[in-house]
Amino acid sequence: MARVELVMPKMGESIMEATILKWRKKPGDRVALDEPVLDIATDKVDSEVPSPVEGVLVEILFQENDVVPINTVIAVLETEAAAAAPAASPATGASTNGSGQNPAIAEPATVSVPYVPATQEAVPAAASFGERFYSPLVRTIAREEGISQAELDRIPGTGQ
């Protein structure tokens, strides 16, 4: 079985980190290719991170609400596709490493597959409060500072 590392995607040129909002899968769960594994948030956008392969989620390296730098391994997936090809090798009489195991299948391969979004998604209007739109950055700052939606709504916008 091949192990595939899921890395925190780069969501924009100036984005250096993202917050894990929610894990949609837990260790042991099967995942399909492009199936959302977790939700993340940056200062500019909230996004889903899809699985780069079909397999099983075997390890989660960061928890919800953790702030993780981009290109950092956040989870490990295991695929079954790589297991089928090496399984045929011992029948061909391939050399062994003295312990009776074929050295080609003694260690599972680990592959790092970065996620690259096809397009930069805008935050949908459903993510706004009330009738006014608030970016993820504004919502985060308001939450950290204890500012309510009613207080935000009382601030006149300039449109600039």
Q: Are 55 and 4 in contact (CB under 8 A)?
A: yes
Position 111 scores a pLDDT of 59
Q: Are 24 and 34 in contact (CB under 8 A)?
A: no
Q: Which residue, among 7, 47, 72, has the nearest Cα to 136 in the 3D structure?
A: 47
Bridge partners of residue 75, in order along the sequence: 6, 60
36-41 β-sheet, strand order: 46-50, 36-41, 17-23, 67-69
Residue 120 burial (C-beta neighbours within 10 Å; 0-12, 13-18, 19+)? exposed
Threshold 0.75, pTM exceeds = no
Question: What 3-state class would DSSP assign to 104?
Answer: coil
Position 71 scores a pLDDT of 93
* pLDDT digits 0-9 by tens, 87-138: 444 444 444 444 445 444 445 555 555 555 554 444 444 444 456 777 778 8
Q: Are 60 and 27 in contact (CB under 8 A)?
A: yes
* pLDDT digits 0-9 by tens, 38-76: 999 998 889 999 999 999 999 999 999 999 999 999 999
For the chain, list the strands marked E by DSSP.
2-7, 17-23, 30-31, 36-41, 46-50, 55-60, 67-69, 73-79, 110-113
* pLDDT digits 0-9 by tens, 17-41: 999 999 999 999 999 999 999 999 9
Domains along the sequence of the chain with CATH: 1-89+104-117 (2.40.50.100), 123-160 (no CATH)
Look at the block and give the residue holding tokens 């996004």: 47
